[in-house]
Structure 1
Amino acid sequence: MLRYLPFLLVLALWIYAFIDCLNTPESQVRGLPKVVWVIVILLFGEVLVGPIAWLVAGKARHPAQGGGGSTPSEWHRNHSASPRGNWVAPDDNPDFLRSLKEENKKDEALLKDWEADLRRREEELRRKQENGKNAAGTEGADGTADGPQGKGGHGGPEDTPPAAKD
């Protein structure tokens, strides 16, 4: 298997140089016209002269413009917080973080309103129960008023005393 490795590497370089030459704009081709470079790569590809000549002398290679960086991490560092409107992760976007704070303030205010309304309603219920207890007049040992329907005033099956066992 290893005896095929040199052949595969030569083939891979040959294919890469050929595709790179075809995809390179005419303005970036140096030395010879693009058609001649394709012929040189194809004719001298087996001995690596054509592909290596293309990679060394055939294409004008410029470093990335605008501080692109030679590695992916450098590129991301230079392009992560671009003011040109590129996509920014939500946790790095100040507008998104500001909107979260505003929503949080609105939610807290709504929660406070709900809590105040709940306290008000509970207080009204307490007052109504106290008024009802005062009107009924008697209270049992557990603090519930005895009304016409029995202890607690509900009149359900749980309010009836258990049957005596004979």
Structure 2
Amino acid sequence: MPLLVGLALLAFWLYCLFDAITTPDEETRNLPKLLWVLIVVLLVPVGGAFWLLLGRPSGPRRPGSLFSDDGLSRPEAPRGPDDDPEFLKELDRRLRDED
């Protein structure tokens, strides 16, 4: 049981550290990014909680977020050629012309 708690704390700390490092400088709240990274590293058990509550950007506006800037719609994912109706029409036309 103590091993599981330790692994959970390690996972939480690593998540918070990675999140603090990858957050753009201009999006951190209350303190500069470098100070937040130091807080997460030096105050292992509570530094991550401080980061999530006080330093992490609020809202889903970060790059790679599931939502766009309006918070409502998901950005359009790239489509492959087999999902493009125009490409499929052109391919069908080419195949018919070869026969």
> What letter matches 1:99 in structure 2?
E
User: Offset of 1:60 from its aligned partner?
Assistant: 1.0
User: Offset of 1:37 from its aligned partner?
Assistant: 1.5
The 1:54–1:95 alpha-carbon spacing in structure 2 relative to 1, beyond 3 Å, is same
The 1:38–1:104 alpha-carbon spacing in structure 2 relative to 1, beyond 3 Å, is closer
The 1:19–1:98 alpha-carbon spacing in structure 2 relative to 1, beyond 3 Å, is same
Aligned length: 90
With normalisation by structure 1, the TM-score equals 0.47
* Residue matched to 1:62: 59
Q: Which consecutive residues of structure 1, in runs of 5 or more, have no partner in the other structure?
A: 69-77, 81-85, 109-166
* Residue matched to 2:12: 13
Structure 1 vs Structure 2: percent identity of aligned residues? 32
> What letter matches 2:58 in structure 1?
R
Deviations 1:37-89 (A, max 9, x none): 222212221xx321011012101133232522xxxxxxxxx524xxxxx4x23
The 1:97–1:13 alpha-carbon spacing in structure 2 relative to 1, beyond 3 Å, is same
Helix, strand or coil at the partner of 1:79: coil
Match of residue 91, structure 2, among 97, 100, 104:
100
Larger radius of gyration: 1
Distance 1:101 1:18 in 2: 52
* Residue matched to 1:79: 76
* Residue matched to 1:51: 48
With normalisation by structure 2, the TM-score equals 0.72
User: Offset of 1:9 from its aligned partner?
Assistant: 0.9
> What letter matches 2:68 in structure 1?
Q
Q: Which consecutive residues of structure 2, in runs of 5 or more, have no partner in the other structure?
A: 61-66
